[in-house]
Amino acid sequence: MKRKLGYIFASLMAIYFLISGLSVLFDVPAKLKRIDLTTINSDGEIAFILIYTGLMTGIGVACVLLQYFSRTWIYSALLATTIIGSFIVFRIVGSIMVGSLSPTQVNFLAFEFIEVLAGALLLRKEKFKIYSPSLPITN
């Protein structure tokens, strides 16, 4: 059962990253407004598309490829959980630097915390070893 939940989690996270990244392409101004950003000119919009869409879809594709080539959900879930965890850390750091935590940021934090908690619990329950070429393989 936990294996099935792991695959579901990893797949949902990959889909989340892909949809989140690609959705920007349908309405850049709406996405900028939703996260309360503005751009000075079209170069700013292109940079936003590059950074946001490129990174989010890249992470989604990486999750899919990790799951496909490793034939396990573990590495995909580990990547997604680590990335979302870094979102939490730097959302908090950014809020401290700016001096406020808006309701929008609190909502993002709540969902990200749930995602990280789910990933961490699934990964903790899974017994796996990470093999390093520099370390001997022992059983």
Q: What is the SS3 assignment for 82-100?
A: HHHHHHHHHHHHHHHHHCC
The answer to whether residue 103 is domain-embedded is: yes
Looking at the predicted structure, is the pLDDT value of residue 123 above 80? yes
The answer to whether residue 61 is domain-embedded is: yes
The answer to whether residue 48 is domain-embedded is: yes
Query: 47 lies in which domain range?
Result: 2-125
- How far is it, in rounded angstroms, from Cα 18 to Cα 24? 10
Mean pLDDT across 10-19: 95
Contact call for residues 105 and 91 (beta carbons, < 8 A): yes
The answer to whether residue 33 is domain-embedded is: yes
- How far is it, in rounded angstroms, from Cα 100 to Cα 74? 36
The answer to whether residue 132 is domain-embedded is: no
pLDDT, tens only, 41-89: 888 888 888 898 999 999 999 999 999 999 999 999 999 999 999 999 9
DSSP labels, the chain: -HHHHHHHHHHHHHHHHHHHHHHGGG-HHHHHHHTT---SSHHHHHHHIIIIIHHHHHHHHHHHHHHHHHSSSHHHHHHHHHHHHHHHHHHHHHHHHHT---HHHHHHHHHHHHHHHHHHHHHHHS------TTS----
The answer to whether residue 107 is domain-embedded is: yes
Residue bearing tokens 């959302």: 91
The answer to whether residue 139 is domain-embedded is: no
The answer to whether residue 63 is domain-embedded is: yes
Q: Give the pLDDT band (50/70/90) at residue 103.
A: confident
Q: Give the pLDDT band (50/70/90) at residue 101.
A: confident
The number of distinct structural domains making up the chain is: 1
